[in-house]
Amino acid sequence: MTTPTDGKTPDLSAKEQHEVEKNQPPRAAVLHEIIRKQGDQELERSIAALWWSALAAGLTMGLSLMGMGLLNSRLPEGDEFKVIASFGYCAGFLAVILARQQLFTENTLTAVLPVMTKPTLANFGRLIRLWTVVLFGNLCGTILVAYVMLELPIFDSKTDEAFLEIGRKVMENHASQMFAKGIVSGWMIATMVWMIPSMESAKMWIIILITYFMALGDFTHIVVGSAEVSYLVFAGELPWSDFWAVFAGPTLAGNIIGGSFIFALISHAQIRSESGKPKESADQAEKPDPQQIRK
């Protein structure tokens, strides 16, 4: 057995060394570039493509309200059963993200990185264009699905009451709480987006884990919450002025700050602080260049 002089595990074969290199986690810079390229692709999409995808996402996010309402109406009363009912919150996020529909808070990270990498007026304009179209499409979808869920004879009275209770729970927060909880929610969604490229095989479980804890913590989210709160409006329990001033405005600001101005800025600063290419291992450095061998 040879004695290691550089701290490496001795007597690894070439195949084993290759396995070690292959199973190294991607550098943060690699994740940054993957997400940046995704964001750049989103910024290039046409307004029509963004609009229809965002509208579909808003309609799909109604699954979160539906899932929680159905579980709450069929579980015994008590806070301990919220641990189970909160899984319903994951349904909309799973469907939207796996279907690659346009979700506003998801784009607060992916579309921001190209702008941070190249902060030109043109890129800022593309970002505002994307955010405006996607947010408007998401809100139209969630408000429409809330109206349909209330007005059409789809659910029994117990389930309808469960939907109302979910909206009432959101509106127990005052505007500053909506804002603070929105920051946490935006941060969590941005964390989820950052994690997925490095663990694509576990994508579903990452989405479930993050969104489940969002539900348990009652953190506010502009898209899901708009379905929950607009249900109250259509039921006559809340004026539209409170929907916009107490819920939507503060929550939207919190989501953007948490997802873009905090997480994305810190992540981008981390990458900018890394200088140069990663150092090659000794084994890689010793490998001859195939082109030089042919020469």
DSSP string, 158-203: HHHHHHHHHHHHHTTS-HHHHHHHHHHHHHHHHHHHHHGGGGGGGH
pLDDT above 50 for 208: yes
Q: Which residue has the higher pLDDT, 278 or 246?
A: 246
Q: What does each C-alpha distance from 26 to 31, 69, 129, 171, 196 come to in angstroms?
A: 7, 40, 32, 42, 12
Q: What angle do CA 121, 127, 133 make, to 5 degrees?
A: 135
Q: What pLDDT, on a 0 to 100 scale, did the predictor assign at position 106? A: 82
Q: What does each C-alpha distance from 115 to 2, 41, 148, 294 come to in angstroms?
A: 52, 12, 38, 44
Give the mean pLDDT of 38-67. Answer: 95
**Predicted TM-score of the model (pTM):** 0.83
Of the listed ranges 179-188, 209-218, 226-235, 271-280, the one predicted with least confidence = 271-280
Q: What pLDDT, on a 0 to 100 scale, did the predictor assign at position 45? A: 92
Tokens of 240: 């539209």
Most confident of the ranges 2-6, 79-83, 124-128: 124-128
Most confident of the ranges 23-32, 87-96, 259-268: 87-96
For the purposes of burial, counting CB atoms within 10 Å of the CB of 282, is it exposed (0-12), middle (13-18) or buried (19 or more)?
exposed
Within 10 A of 211 (CB to CB), how many other CB atoms are there? 27
H helices then E strands: how many in the chain?
18, 0
**Is 205 in a helix, a strand, or coil?**
helix
The residue type found at 273 is: S
Residue 282: pLDDT band (50, 70, 90) is: very low
Tokens of 148: 């349909």
Q: What does each C-alpha distance from 237 to 53, 65, 69 come to in angstroms?
A: 31, 17, 18
- Alpha-carbon Rg for the chain in angstroms: 23
Instruction: Give every CB contact of residue 4 below 8 A, 6+ residues apart in sequence.
Output: 10
pLDDT above 90 for 128: yes
The average confidence (pLDDT) of the chain is: 86
DSSP-H helix ranges across 217-264: 222-234, 240-242, 249-256
pLDDT above 50 for 283: no
At 220-250, the pLDDT tens digits run 999 999 999 999 999 999 999 999 999 999 9
Q: Are 227 and 142 in contact (CB under 8 A)?
A: yes
Percent of the chain predicted with pLDDT > 70 = 81
What gap in Å lies between CA 259 and CA 104, rounded to an integer? Answer: 10
The residue type found at 231 is: Y
Give the mean pLDDT of 43-71. Answer: 96
Of the listed ranges 84-98, 134-148, 240-254, 264-278, the one predicted with least confidence = 264-278
**Is 275 in a helix, a strand, or coil?**
coil
CA 169 from centre of chain: 23
